[in-house]
Every structure is written in C-alpha cells, then in structure tokens.
Structure 1
Amino acid sequence: MKMDKLIKQAQRMQAQMALAQEELQNTVLEGSAGGGAVKVTANGHGDVLSISIAKGAVNPDDVEMLEDLVLGAVKEAISKAKALSEQKMTALTGGMGGFPGLM
C-alpha cells in the first residue's frame, strides 16, 4: 500500500474515532438499584451526570442500605458505559485492540 493511501486511511479512522467519542459523550445511560429507588445517569464515557433517590429509599436508621443502592446504581451505569465504549471502539478497529494516540 502506498504511504499516501495509508495516511489517508489513518486520518479517516481518526475522524471516525473522534465521531465515536462525541457520540459516547452525548449518549445517556441509566443504572438503577432497589427496584428503581436509586437511579444514576452517566454518559458513554462513564461520567456520572446525575443521581436520583426516591424519598422512600431514605431511612436514617439504615444509611448503609442507601449507600449500597447508590453504589450499585453507579456501578451499573458505568458498566453500561464501558460496554458501549468497547463496542464502538471494537467496531472501528475491527477488534485489533485500538491504536495508541488516536483516542
């Protein structure tokens, strides 16, 4: 393959990755726990955007349960974000493991 074609192909892939990163930034995912008593939204990068706690989930005598629910919802939202990000990057790189410096 000629060098100019290789460079154009790399530039095209870099542009596609930038678009995928922008899509991840704008995608909102939700994690929940306690039957929806605690909800966490995150973007596709795993940045937590908001936490919502139903009044019924707040029990001053059992703070540990609420902490566990919040943690569970956060973990679920971040897990969804990681899976989505991995899916998008694998689709772009063909499963070749990514390219340092392009992300």
Structure 2
Amino acid sequence: MAKGKGKFQMPIGGRMGGMAEQLRKLQEDMLAAQEALGQETVEASAGGGAVKVVMNGHLRLVSLAIDPEAVNPEDVEMLQDLITAAVNEAIEKAQEMAAERMSGFTAGLKIPGLF
C-alpha cells in the first residue's frame, strides 16, 4: 500500500448524500407508480364484443362479461377461444400500460422481463 494511503472512506453528505436522497425518492416514486397501476384498468374484447374483459395494471382480471348469445352448449370450444383471446389481449394492453408508466424510471434501460 502506498504511504499515506489507507482505506477508502465514503464522503459524508455532499454528492453521495444527494445521490442517496435521489435514489430514495426514485424508489418512493416507483412504489407509488406500481401501486397506482393496480387502480388503472384496460379493456379488451373478442368475437365482436361477445366476450369483454377488464384487467388492471397488476395483470389481475377485474371483470369478465359474456354475451348470453355467445353461449352455445354445442360449441363450447368457440367460447373458450373467445375468452382466451380477450384475456390475452387484455394482458398485452396491461403490460404496455405498465411499461409506459414505468419507462421514466428505467430511463431507457432494457431489462428483460421487467415490464
């Protein structure tokens, strides 16, 4: 070790203190944005509106509406396909909404699987 050199010590306050405060604020803002996503919803439909789905930003199914005329006991697979299509579309929309809301926090970083 060079003479007069010891362990590195972090400066107290100054730039590092300001950075820590910025990180704390960023974390608070991110948590608030994530919480708000639970209150925001997207809507999707399939079969010309025969099946309608509402999903929140946490990818939770809020409601599912099926037009009674879409229910045919002879063709249950058709109804299953409509439900699947509507739910998948709602998931895509909710993911896009979440990515849009959170994009400011990631500042253009592409983190696989984050949103």
Percent identity of the aligned residues? 45
Answer with 1 or 2: which has the greater Rg: 2
TM-score, length of structure 2 as denominator length: 0.80
Alignment map for 1:8-87 (pairs within 5 Å):
8-87=21-100
Gaps of 5+ in 2: 1-13
Give the superposition deviation at 1:64: 0.5
RMSD between aligned residues? 1.3
* Runs of 4+ off more than 6 Å: none
For 1:9 and 1:96, the matched residues in 2 are separated by 18
TM-score, length of structure 1 as denominator length: 0.89
Specify the SS of the correspondent of 1:17: helix
Given that 1:90 and 1:97 are in contact with CA atoms closer than 8 Å, whether structure 2 keeps it comes out as no
For 2:107 and 2:17, the matched residues in 1 are separated by 22
Aligned residue pairs: how many? 98
Given that 1:30 and 1:40 are in contact with CA atoms closer than 8 Å, whether structure 2 keeps it comes out as yes
Q: Which has the higher contact order (CA 8 A, sep 6+)?
A: 1
Gaps of 5+ in 1: 99-103
Tell me the alpha carbon deviations over residues 27-51 of structure 1, each in whole angstroms, 9 at most, x when there is no partner. 0111110011101111011111111
Instruction: Show the counterpart of 2:109.
Output: 96
